Amino acid sequence: MVLQDLATIGMLVLLEALLSADNALVLAIIARRLPDKRMQSRALTVGVALSFLMRMVGLLVASTIIHLWYLRAAGAVYLLFLCVGHFVKSKNPQKPQTTEAAPASAALGKAAFRSVVLALALTDAAFAIDSILVAVAMTDKLLVIYIGVGIGIIALRFVSGLFLKLLERYPALDHAAYALVGWAGVRLLSEALDVFGDAVYHQDWNFGLPDWAFWSGMAAIIVLGTAYAVRRQRYPGILR
């Protein structure tokens, strides 16, 4: 493996990390459905492993996958559903149930684990298209792509775990996290419309959200959401 290939691997890892920031947050949000930390960690590991396999297969058929507008659209609808559902529930809170007070049965626990792992893998598949496009554009050497994307996905697993810890320490970050999930859904939907216009009507609809607009929105949500979460932690009786 020549020096140029090593440089390409390094660039792929960096780009994978940058492209997967919102992906890692979404995976953390989905994993939090499980009742205990051990199951959350296992679900993230299995889900990310499945997403790695899907990306490897996706790279082999990249020329076909980039035109699957409905995959992006399905991912967008799911993310927007998560976002809206969270804020609807926050307006109509139910009585909290702790895992100690009402432990789930083993059968229900396994079913929940499988459903969360499936959701993790399918959600990551919707996000994976960007990574596949970048990887194919960087080099045509599959081994180099596999190594770079593989290291990037391992990093994604640890970043998702970090988000889980942050959400546990600052519960009010939930609102910001779900707002980011919804914003990521908006981006995926805009991309789906672009790909749909190109694939079906052979026209450039220019619905895609510009990078500067997407990242500006992400930054604004993070800053405002973090400020709210920290103040909520300090003054729980004042901010609701």
Q: HEC profile for 123-186?
A: HHHHHHHHHHHHHHHHCCCHHHHHHHHHHHHHHHHHHHHHHHHHHHHCCCHHHHHHHHHHHHHH
In-domain check, residue 60: yes
The structure's pTM equals 0.64
The string of pLDDT tens digits covering residues 74-118 is 878 877 888 888 888 877 765 544 444 344 455 556 778 888 888
Nearest to 122 by CA among 72, 80, 65, 163: 72
Q: Is residue 117 part of a domain?
A: yes
Task: Transcribe 20-72 into DSSP letters.
Answer: THHHHHHHHHHHTTSSSHHHHHHHHHHHHHHHHHHHHHHHHTHHHHTT-HHHH
Q: Which of 99, 174, 50, 240 is nearest to 42 (CA)?
A: 50
DSSP 8-state class, residue 100: T
Q: Average pLDDT, stretch 158-186?
A: 80
Structural domain includes residue 239: no
Query: What's the rounded mean pLDDT across residues 175-180?
Result: 82
Q: For all residues of the chain together, what is the average pLDDT?
A: 75
* Residue-number span of the structural domain to which 198 is assigned: 3-234
Query: Looking at this protein, which amino acid is placed at residue 53?
Result: L
Q: Kindly tell me if the per-residue pLDDT of 161 is higher than 70.
A: yes
Which residues does 39 contact at the CB level (< 8 Å), separation at least 6? Answer: 109, 113
Residue 161 lies in a domain: yes
Q: What's the whole-number mean pLDDT along residues 139-150?
A: 76
Point out the least confidently predicted range of 74-83, 99-108, 156-165, 169-178. 99-108
pLDDT band at 123 (very low <50, low <70, confident <90, very high): confident
Q: Lowest-pLDDT range, 3-17, 187-201, 217-231?
A: 3-17
Establish if 240 belongs to a structural domain: no
Please tell me the total count of domains within the chain.
Answer: 1
